[in-house]
Amino acid sequence: MLIFTLHAMILTAQTVYSDYHDGRIYLKYKDNIAPSFSVSSDNKVDINTVPLVSALSSEFRLKELSRPFYLNNDSKLIRTLMLEFDDYDKVDQIIEQLKQSPDIEYVERVPMDRIYYVPNDSLYTLYNGPQNWNWHLERIQADLAWDISKGSSDIKVAIVDNAVWVDHPDLAGKIVAQRDTYYNTDNPNPPASGDPLEWSHGTHCAGLAAGASDNGIGIASVGFNVSIIAVKSAANTNSNSIYGYTGIQWAASNGADVINMSWGGTGYSQTNQNVINSIANMGIVLVAAAGNDNVTTPHYPSAYANVISVASTDFDDLKSDFSNYATSVDVSSPGGKATGGPNGLLSTTFNDATLGNYDLMSGTSMASPIVAGLSGLILSINPLLTPAQVEAILESTADDIYPLNPDYTGMLGAGRVNAYQAALNTPYEPVADFATPLTIIMPGGVGIDFSDLSMGVPSDWEWTFEGGTPSTSNEQNPTGIVYASDGTYDVSLTVTNEFGTSTEVLENYITVTSSPAPYVMIASSDSMPCISSPVVLSDMSLYGPTSWEWNITPTSYQLLNGSTLNSQNPEIQFMVPGSYAVSLSAWNANGNSALSLPDFINVSGALPSYTSDMEDGTPGFITLWDTIKSQSAVDKRSAYESMYSIHFHGDPVPTGWKGSPTTGTPAQAWIENRQFQSEAYICGVDPTGAQNLALELDLRQTYSLGPRYSWFRVLVNGTQVPDDQGVMDFNPLTTGEDPWRRLTFDLSAYSGSIFDITLQACNRFSYHVQGEGDNVFVDNISIINTTSVSEGVSQKPDLVVFPNPSAGDLTLQVNNLKGNVEIKVISLLGNIVYKSDISYVAGSLTRKLDLSSLPSGIYMLSVISDTQQLNQRIVIR
């Protein structure tokens, strides 16, 4: 029986296994094996020197072998190789063959690390020592949780505390209700007198739970978009004494969904327990700090029933040395310090500190609002959850930290909260949805797999397959459903959880026919090529198509090696950067079918004049690359006369750096310090029409302890090139505030062919670790034609256009034409700006064109006949 699986049918980017790189596998030798292969300076390994790999060459299309990891000469890493190959769909066969070697411990696919959501708050990625200032959010995987939900402003987290500064820039837009329950006013702000830091406690908690996120300033919060109710419950004469129960009562009466209580004591009160019970019965989640005395003594309100008690942990998941611990603790949360980094959590404050109105605090007081904000995030996904259900989600998804804390077993709750797992496992009323990779099949013996795509964490599934065998299933993802007779059949799925039931019925979803038309599928050898790189479009259609018709838009491409748009697998060379749509119609004796894929091919490259200023906050077609000890990003850290630039910097822990701050050498920077390097890569620079070419960019560098800790250079096709002053290796001149300078690199020597450019940095420290840090900033990158090109003839094998460049009056000559001819001129945006049709032509064609009305720029001229398409880039001045 033929089983069609989802990953085998969807043949687009990452065509075989969606979570793994196509055409890459790792293979590791056993620890007792001493492999004899040699590794070049760029980590490549000659395939022919590794017999177990080279033996595959006759059966599979192998590309490259390398040893990608060498950190600390770890004995396991230096025995690990990565094999790259072109036969993506044969990855399982390659793995199985390599596993047969007795020297190999394992072979595995290379995971696809995707890039996930990161807010743009200015302090979010600020380093201090080896950890970020947002280490508490990283530890609980908040960024992954935000990919599921960024919270709802309809959910309100009340911060009942000594005061909350409601005008803080990271809080002002989030506060939906406010009260001073001590003085019965609507002003919860700190008093004008007293120590601003002591009066910052409530403001700090508010920022941790629900401070404004992705607003370009300050910090991010786990609650992201949830709203804040600000309640002041302290007398103006004493910032440390909280009258909290009146405060929580007011919050409960004014719309709170979650209440945070970062305060308490050892005194028990049945009345206070009754207040708690009453609020809990209203369906409100209550969260409290476990206390900071490093004892097991009951601490209230955290030890009351119906309250989620929160202990504090450090970055390493060890119990914070100050945190209480007890069997009454329900969960733990970051509230302490990051070893070697921030001694506390960074959040909003009333006092003005080094970073403005942001400062560090630590304690279970900080751990508690993180759990409160996470509870708000959970309720944003499903506001119908009860407090007990919210607590159960927090506990069931927490990470087990007892192996790290054996002395506190059973006294740190269910573990340290995990925001991502909590969001992922929050149930809500389900929405049924499903798919199958194939909807047209032949009768008899063909099995189809169905995939449940329902939302809401269903617990039960009921499938009905009209005309199928079996006809029903209770599995989440039933496989091998067989259809025996011709016809069209419905499929239905009903999903259920404790919040409801949902049914999806797709009528006539499965077509069973003994004479199917082609079932069209498309694959590409490279979905993100550089301009002029050969790309093979592959017809992967089922049911034996015998003829094909491809359509590619825009038409800025050239067919290669005799391919036509009627070839089964045409080879194509794209000549202009951008996104290309691809469609295929295929015929067999039973009929035809078609498939269209928008933005299927995304082509990188650069055409003079090319400029990138990153003002959309992205690198565009520039590819950024870094390592575990380097960083590269487009950010607001520093930009020249603009908002964004490319920012390279080093590592918070720069162990392994070779060279001194003043006498380090280029060889050390570019050869020995590879792990500290980062790059911006521009592939496929096509200088057609430009004989005198230059790269220009704005550069700014800084250094911490010395100028030889910050390096920058430019490479073309891997070869280092000097600027117009003869400088090849750039170091900063002054610490901290090196001025911007405009650099020019003459690239005329490369104007005769397509080439690649690499902007490479090598930096020791990350920024703000040691002074300003070691930084390289690059902005306003341009590739320009520095002088006009003399009028002449630009030739392709069958197409001549002259003069080129021109003012718009030009002549084209084409040889070996046959059939009707269409002439098009297409802008770089893919718009047809000129079109002319010519009736039957046999032999050569000469045609004058007047394009003087077009704006100056680069265009693609296409001559299309019945049998071929010829393209030529033209420049209008």
Residues designated catalytic: 161, 201, 365
Q: Are 683 and 755 in contact (CB under 8 A)?
A: no
CA dist., res. 53 & res. 44, Å (int): 14
To the nearest 10 degrees (0 to 180), the angle between helices 201-210 and 364-381 is: 30
Read off the DSSP letter of residue 71: G
d(CA 40, CA 278) in angstroms, rounded, equals: 71
How far, in Å, CA of 355 to CA of 102, rounded?
58
Cα distances (angstroms) measured from residue 448 to each of 205, 520, 812: 53, 17, 55
Query: Which CA distances in Å does 314 have to 78, 128, 160, 303, 404?
Result: 33, 15, 25, 22, 12
Burial of 130 (0-12, 13-18, 19+ CB in 10 A): middle
Q: What is the phi-psi region of residue 151: left when phi exceeds 0, alpha when psi lies from -120 to 50, beta otherwise?
A: left
What CA–CA distances, in Å, run from 92 to 24, 65, 83, 124, 447?
11, 18, 13, 41, 21
Which of 339, 417, 392 shows the shortest CA–CA distance to 140?
Answer: 417
Q: Are 588 and 518 in contact (CB under 8 A)?
A: yes
Asked whether the beta carbons of 94 and 88 are under 8 A apart, the reply is: no
Q: Name the residue among 188, 174, 184, 189 with its Cα closest to residue 223.
A: 174
Nearest alpha carbon to residue 778 among 647, 653, 594: 647
Residue type, 318: L
Q: Which of 757, 746, 669 is nearest to 714 (CA)?
A: 757
Backbone angles phi, psi at 419, to 5 degrees: -65, -40
DSSP codes of every residue in 564-579: -TTSSS-EEEE-S-EE
Residue 734 contacts by C-beta under 8 Å, 6 or more apart in sequence? none
Extended strands (E) in 498-612: 500-512, 522-524, 534-539, 547-553, 557-560, 571-574, 578-588, 591-603, 610-612
Token digits of residue 646: 């490319």
